[in-house]
Amino acid sequence: MIEIRNICKSFEGREVLKDISTIFEKGKTNLIIGQSGSGKTVLLKSIVGLIEIECGEILFDERDTRLMNFKEQKLLRQEIGMVFQNGALFDSLTVEQNVRFPMDMFTSMTMKEKTLRLNFCLDRVNIKNSNQLYPAEISGGMRKRVAIARAIALNPKYLFCDEPNSGLDPVTSILIDALIKEITAEFDITTVINTHDMNSVMEIGDKILFISEGLKCWEGNNTQIFNTRNKKLNAFVFASPFSKKFKEIRQMEDDE
């Protein structure tokens, strides 16, 4: 479980996060949604420690990050897996080397153990016969899956994904969503996903936090989101004609 309390952050006097508090639950896919520029990425990067917050607290299973020394912070980071927007795979390493990198760096596993774990992770994300390819030689969807494999290589307690579906076709997006959901349940990890993909919201939103202009506007789950009266959220969720139609059909079904 990750708890954030009254987080604030500003850049050159412009407030990007304003007093945000919430709890991301263990074993669930927690989604942060909001328009582009609403502060989603800043919030996610603040939680993982890439951006320093100005006020507030971040607690990983009741461990306050502000009270941790350098060594404890480093150990905490080894419990975190993160999937970046474009995968952020190391260009100079092959698929296999990318996934093995955290094991090589932080464990004293034997080569045989590493190979077993590597094969398990790649199988889990359904990557086959691509071990020796470089990131530039694989598709966007595969890069995301390799990034997920690398993120789970050290059995993380917390998984963060920054817009895992951006730039992917709807079919691949659904596969990536399903994969993240399965992994979250299977390994009982706390997953936090940053997205503005409404399909993800509907499919995997166990918990949803909606932020707008740096403020927490709403929180709930993927069932509650359709019945909310929050104007900003409705404007965001039902922005496209497709989702408007979807809502109408759903309301008609409810009325019947």
The residues binding other proteins (CB under 8 A) are: 45, 48-50, 74-78, 80, 82, 84-86, 88-91, 101-102, 104-106, 160
- Give the residue with the Cβ less far from other proteins, 147 or 183: 147
Query: What does the block give as tokens for 111?
Result: 């080569």
Closest contact distance (angstroms) between CB of 75 and other proteins is 7
Closest-CA residue to 50 (of 168, 194, 222): 194
Closest contact distance (angstroms) between CB of 174 and other proteins is 24
- Give the residue with the Cβ less far from other proteins, 195 or 212: 195
- Give the residue with the Cβ less far from other proteins, 122 or 225: 122
- Give the residue with the Cβ less far from other proteins, 104 or 169: 104
Closest contact distance (angstroms) between CB of 17 and other proteins is 18
Closest contact distance (angstroms) between CB of 110 and other proteins is 13
- Give the residue with the Cβ less far from other proteins, 45 or 181: 45
Closest contact distance (angstroms) between CB of 93 and other proteins is 10
